[in-house]
A and B are shown apart, each in its own frame.
Chain A
Amino acid sequence: EVVLTQSPATLSLSPGERATLSCRATQSVGSFLAWFQQKPAQAPRLLIYDASNRATGIPARFRGSGSGTDFTLTISSLEPEDFAVYYCQQRGNWPPPFTFGPGTKVEIK
């Protein structure tokens, strides 16, 4: 089973700053990695699929990169609505489970 680790656990930043979130897999998942954003009391929302493709309606300030075992989500300039928890999920190693990482909380500094 693929295990995902995310770092840092918490990122304290101010609006307008750049956020860099990392996700690492214990074995290659190719480019089959997704990023989700979750706000309190809401269902997760897909931001990025297949490592670097933005989902419909996702602003260009969200950028995904990486392949194999190392992935990055970059938010170029944080908006107030971007403060949330971010999860990566691997969808590359068939069959499931399609595990999630433990999450990175982006909080207001």
Chain B
Amino acid sequence: EVQLVETGGDLIQPGGSLRLSCAASGFTVSRNYMSWVRQAPGKGLEWVSAIHSDGSTYYADSVKGRFTISRDNARNTLYLQMDSLRAEDTAVYYCETTVPQGNYWGQGTLVTVSS
């Protein structure tokens, strides 16, 4: 069964750093395109970042230079390193992927940037 479980969300001060994890099961992270999508409170979905199976990485302009997507093949886990956090980064962060079995999302993890 395919499952994605995000962890790492927290209350963090502006300018701080946080690393989100997305533990995958039922498929191999390194063989799939995976992305992070966020949703600010009461707002719509915003595509944040993605990593291709070939290792190429992509970012939204709003996070470029501050966020880094990566994966750990041994742990079958996707990460999002978030630096220089701003109030506007406050959101629920989801990891998402499409595999032969279908499209899957995690339950989300809440990041709150506030002093």
Contact = CB atoms under 8 A, between A and B. Distances in A.
A100 B44 contact: yes
A33 to B, nearest CB: 14
Interface residues of B, number: 21
Contact of A55 (B46, B47, B102): B102
Secondary structure class of chain A's binding surface, majority of residues: loop
Which residue of A45, A85, A96 has the most chain B CB atoms within 10 A of its CB atom?
Answer: A96
B103 interface: yes
Contacts of B9: none
Interface residues of A, number: 22
Interface in B24-64: 35, 37, 44-47, 50, 56, 58-61
Interface in A63-104: 85, 87, 89, 95-103
Given A46-B102, A49-B103, A56-B102, A103 B58 contact: no
